[in-house]
Amino acid sequence: MRVRFITAALVATAAVAFGGTAAANGAPAQPPSTPDTYVAFWDGVANQAFTAASTPPPDGSVISAYVSIAVYDSVMAIDGGYEPFAVDIDAPPGASPEAAVAAAAHAILVHYLPGQQASFDLAYDHSLGTIADGQAKDDGVATGAYVASVLIRQRADDGFRVPVPYVVPDPPIPGVWIPTAPAPPLGTYMPDMTPFSLRRPSQFRPAGPPRLTGREWAREFNEVKEIGSRTSTTRTAEQTLVARFWGEPPIQQAHGAYRKFIFDHALDIVGASRFMGMTTVAAADALIACFDAKYHYPFWRPVTAIRAGDTDGNPDTVADPSWVQLLPAVPNHPEYPSAHSCLTTATARVFARFLGTRTIDFTIPSLTGLGDRHFDRVSNLVSEVENARVWGGIHYRISTEVGAKIGQKVARQVLAHHFHRSR
């Protein structure tokens, strides 16, 4: 059932909540255009905020989904064409979708990252300053503000960021994860969080990691020990480059690619909002499913396992107490399965479905000057991520393969139930 609402009261509410609509003085132009600029602009605002706040990847992924759902449902309320995801309303005829995007994204970001409201307010004033004043603008603001408020209420008790302690084994137990940083472990709330599309976080929970006494574990151990070491003599220069590329901040790296995809394919505001909705929901649920498995099977990282190789009861794993992985930082959460494989595979499947082709024509920019990487096929992208995490010394191969299977299943779930054309 679609909800129709009276705009006057909502416009007044939005004006109070957002503190007016004046453009930021001296802000660069952000002109409305047939290819979208507003969805991409607000995704960029969110990612700047994640960077400034040192937001952990799990949190950044979830907040991105909140933003994109609110933006998508706001645009669908105005332009229609596709089924809404969470909030089903009819906007007043002629409402500005650009204004709705700005209002929806701003409201979500202020709610979940209140410490950065000042910067969000500047971006909001700037974004609205590019839209002509009038009823269309006011109705768009009201639509976006209302959709965001409903979504915030819907997700109020979804478990996001609810503190969940991780009990570190003392003394250490062979095979059990020990944090790799003094900060609290990341994403401990995710196994208890309400997913966006999945029925439950454990819906695609895999079987566990290999037995420490078996041949499979010895193969996994010795592969990463050799090729993932900082001083490896078997890893090539290209493999080192790939490992370092995929060691960049994952949410910022991914969203830079999403925005480039919007521009490269000249998506309009409907296409851009749908693409971002599909992608971020799949990404967030892939990480929720992945972290459910991580904390159900809290498996040790290579740096811990290799240094303690003489404690696992396997004669084919030899300890190296001085072993160090290639990548400088080890993610501070359990190893199995690979979160990057879960996330990247899920989103890659979305790209192919969105384009309706087997090829994806997808470029991922580097954040650190390592050079962009282009992919034509889902399989090439997934394979590179799987290899990169082993070459970087932070994952076993089985963990990347299992992560990819989780990502594929999550993408199928999301695409089967959401973002379809309206009937």
Ranking 5-14, 119-128, 373-382 by mean pLDDT, the lowest is: 5-14
Q: Which of 303, 347, 340, 334 is nearest to 321 (CA)?
A: 303
Euclidean distance between CA atoms 407 and 276, whole angstroms = 17
Confidence (pLDDT) at 357: 87
145 located within any domain: yes
**pLDDT per position as a tens digit, 193-224:** 999 999 999 999 999 999 999 999 999 999 99
Q: What is the pLDDT of residue 16?
A: 29
Q: What is the pLDDT of residue 281?
A: 98
Distance, CA of 54 to CA of 157 (rounded, Å): 24
175 lies in some domain? no
42 and 132 co-located in one domain: yes
Q: Quick check: is 171 in a domain?
A: no
Residues 87 and 134 in one domain: yes
pLDDT at 80: 86
Query: How many separate domains does the chain show?
Result: 2
Domain boundary among 154, 171, 198: 154
* One domain for residues 249 and 350: yes
Domain of 116: which CATH number?
1.20.144
Whole-structure pTM value: 0.92
Residue finishing a domain among 135, 154, 173: 154
Instruction: Specify if 320 maps to a domain.
Output: yes
Q: Is 83 part of any domain?
A: yes
The verdict on 82 and 215 lying in the same domain is no
pLDDT digits (tens, 9 = 90+) for 10-25: 333 333 233 332 233 3
Q: How far is CA 16 from CA 58, 102, 129, 313, 385, in A?
A: 32, 15, 17, 65, 46
Q: Is residue 169 part of a domain?
A: no
- Assess whether 77 and 122 both reside in one domain: yes
259 plus 333 within the same structural domain: yes
Residue 62 forms part of a structural domain: yes
- Omega within 30 of 0 (cis) for the link into 56: no
Q: Give the domain range for residue 309.
A: 190-417
CATH number at residue 268: 1.10.606.20
Q: Counting every residue, how long is the chain?
A: 423
Please check whether residues 133 and 223 belong to one and the same domain: no
Same domain, 46 and 141: yes
**99 and 225, same structural domain?**
no
Q: Are residues 201 and 127 in the same domain?
A: no
The domain boundary residue, chosen from 154, 180, 209: 154
Confidence of residue 326 (pLDDT cuts 50, 70, 90): very high
Question: Could you tell me which residue, 9 or 219, shows the higher pLDDT?
Answer: 219
> Both 142 and 252 in a single domain?
no
State whether 324 and 269 are in the same domain: yes
Kindly state whether residue 353 falls inside one of the protein's structural domains. yes
